[in-house]
Amino acid sequence: MNHFNNPTIKQDQADMIYRNSDRFLTAFNRIEKVLKSFLIKKEMGFSRAVKVLSKSNAMIKQYQDDLLEFAELRNAIVHNKTDLMYTIAEPHDSVVERIEVIEMELLEPRKVDPLFIRKVIYFQQTESLSNVLEIVNQHGITKFPVYKGNVFQGLITHKGITKWFSKGIGKRLTTLLNAKLVEVLECEKSDNFRFISRETSVYEAKEIFKEQIGKGNRLEALLITSEGNANGSLVGIVTNWDIMEI
């Protein structure tokens, strides 16, 4: 794939005060500085640093392929530079724009706050299933935290509700609808959620979903709390559908 503009560019383009190669190298150098800040061995090369950090850093892992490609482009630019004012290999605008976007993401990674901070509808375990279904009908929401007082009990989802009704075949509909949520929770997987703090990056959130799928466990939601655990106040929720749109 050709990442460079035509080398036979017009002289006025080549003489631009701030060329694409300048912008690319500036962004690359800033990214390299960010990578080194994560490393113990500061002398590690760029590509090696990307591969090492991608194993533990969700954000680096997200952009690993781009960063490795940028390293090759950087070498091509530097090695083809004929003098201080002229570079034969000028990156395409799209490449420069891409590296600058990634630079900004690395410098100021997006967090779940404020993206997914919202009022979360939750229920007490003594409430009936009919209350939940009313909200489903009104708002189209299908995931609800359930509490016993201030203590988190579990996450009610459309899957658990469907299982509840399927297990109740033969029973009166009113009986199924009037069931307490503590009963319906028995039809839910106990590990269909995780708690995260509002400081969690969107990349970390996405990685949590991916890691759990890799372990054969599909999470339904990440619950955002002030403490990052069940003891904190609930301030937001990230569903598996939300994360797919990022």
d(Cα 47, Cα 67) in Å, to the nearest integer? 8
* CA angle (15 as vertex; 12, 21 as ends), nearest 5: 120
Q: What is the mean pLDDT of each run of 10 residues along the chain (246 residues)?
A: 55 58 95 94 93 94 96 88 60 94 94 95 98 96 96 97 94 95 97 96 94 93 95 94 79
H, E, C per residue of 23-83: HHHHHHHHHHHHHHHHCCCCCCCHHHHHHHHCCCCHHHHHCHHHHHHHHHHHHHHHHCEEE
| Residue 168: DSSP 8-state | T
pTM of the complete model: 0.79
C-alpha 187/C-alpha 179 separation (Å) is: 12
Contact 129, 177 (CB under 8 A): yes
* Bridge partners of residue 53, in order along the sequence: none
Nearest to 155 by CA among 125, 117, 114: 125
Q: Going by C-beta distance under 8 Å and a sequence separation of 6 or more, which residues neighbour residue 30? A: 103, 107
Whether 103 and 33 have beta carbons less than 8 Å apart is answered as: no
Domain 115-244: CATH class, spelled out: alpha beta
Query: What is the rounded distance in angstroms from the CA atom of residue 164 to the CA atom of residue 167?
Result: 5
Q: Where are the domains of the chain?
A: 11-106, 115-244
Q: What is the pLDDT of residues 142-194, one digit of tens each?
A: 999 999 999 999 999 999 999 999 999 989 999 999 999 999 999 999 999 99
Q: Which helix (H) or strand (E) holds 224?
A: strand 221-225
Q: What is the DSSP letter of 122?
A: -
The pLDDT score that the predictor gives to residue 17 is 43
